[in-house]
Structure 1
Amino acid sequence: MDILGWALIVLLFAIGMAGAVYPILPGALAIYAAFFVYGFFFSFGEFGIWFWLIQTIIVIVLFIADYAVSAWGVKRFGGSKASIVGSTIGIIIGPFVIPAFGLIIGPFAGAVIGEMIAGSNMEKSLKVGVGSVVGLFTSVVVKVILQLIMIALFVLWLVF
């Protein structure tokens, strides 16, 4: 049972880290779920209130940062609410429409289309599209760092 428990924990950590890049996967929630798997298979005794409080705060920050950083990229490059919505839609459906490159093309195209619908010219719309990709990459970096911190805290909590 120990092997199954650790295999599930590692699998959830891997899904969580993949979710930092691929938005359809649960990301931080998978990592958070791994803590419960550890508790059910081994013991919740190692985790006190501070562990759960810190991890929950990180998850909340991840959710807020994910949207805020992506929106920041669009706004920073002069985008409107329509381009933020378009970019968000693009990041969700892009990977399904164009599996290999949809993660980048989706938010870019969504932001460009959203900005065009808002009445901007092609030059500004393309600039906003670039901003959506910058926001996406920045968001991925933030998510990877925070999720690695979650995993590192888990390990440190078990060791110390």
Structure 2
Amino acid sequence: MKLKCGKSSKHKKMESQIYTFSGVALVYLAFLVGAAGCFLPVIPGVVLAAAALVLFKVFVPESPLSWAFVAVAAVLSVLAQLLDFIMTWYGAKKFGATKWGAFGAFVGVAVGIFLPPPMVWIFAAPVLFAFAFEYMGGASARQAAKAGVGTFVGALASSLVKFLLVVMMAFWFTAEIVMAEV
């Protein structure tokens, strides 16, 4: 009588499925946290979602997730980070800020990331800096306040776009996984 050592192919397949399922569950958890992170500045939402996709593909290489999708998600995450600066600046300009107010908004985003608690300062610092720079540049308090409001609108719009990017990644990820099973 010969004894078999090692795992059967049935057990290996089941282990692979459990591993894949665990990876999928962790990616969805990252999507949920990433979606919240689009509005909570402590968490880099889109970057977290893209990083989860990269890690999933690396650790579950036999998954149906394509490297093209992972690359697009990574590029979008970098662009989303730039979007914070651009949309905050654009919001200030759209509401009548001069170069001083727009520069203040830009500086405010950069400074707000590092001030505790970041949840407050990521939105407040650009508004305050836009107001202060606009006012120091010679604008009336009313015009400076308008520039500050535009900064807030731009930052909020940026958060919404980043949230939509995470949702898009989640749907695309789901489509790639489900279509492979069909």
Query: Shorter-chain-normalised TM-score: which range?
Result: 0.7 to 0.9
Name which of 28, 37, 49 aligns with 2:55: 37
Q: Deviations over 1:36-82 (max 9, x none)?
A: 22224423542334323432443344234332222110010122333
* TM-aligned CA distance change 1:99 to 1:55, over 3 Å: closer
Q: How many residues align?
A: 160
* TM-aligned CA distance change 1:104 to 1:29, over 3 Å: closer
* CA distance in 1 between partners of 2:91 and 2:23 (Å): 40
- Whether contact under 8 Å (2:54, 2:70) holds in the other structure is no
* TM-aligned CA distance change 1:98 to 1:112, over 3 Å: farther
* CA distance in 2 between partners of 1:77 and 1:34 (Å): 37
TM-score, normalized by length of structure 2? 0.71
Comparing 13-22 and 67-76, the one that deviates more: 13-22
* TM-aligned CA distance change 1:72 to 1:113, over 3 Å: same
- Whether contact under 8 Å (2:112, 2:124) holds in the other structure is no
* CA distance in 1 between partners of 2:95 and 2:26 (Å): 42
Q: Deviations over 1:6-48 (max 9, x none)?
A: 5542443233223311334222111111112222442354233
- Whether contact under 8 Å (1:15, 1:26) holds in the other structure is no
* TM-aligned CA distance change 1:15 to 1:80, over 3 Å: farther
Superposition deviation, residue 4 in structure 1: 5.6
* CA distance in 1 between partners of 2:116 and 2:173 (Å): 36
Partner residue of 1:62? Answer: 80
Cα RMSD after superposing both structures? 2.8
2:40 maps to 1:22: yes
- Whether contact under 8 Å (2:95, 2:146) holds in the other structure is yes
Q: Percent identity?
A: 26
1:154 aligned partner, one-letter code: F
Unaligned runs of 5+ in 1: none
- Whether contact under 8 Å (1:94, 1:107) holds in the other structure is no
Partner residue of 1:74? Answer: 92
TM-score, normalized by length of structure 1? 0.79
Partner residue of 2:129? Answer: 110
* CA distance in 2 between partners of 1:60 and 1:102 (Å): 22
Q: Secondary structure at the match of 1:47?
A: coil
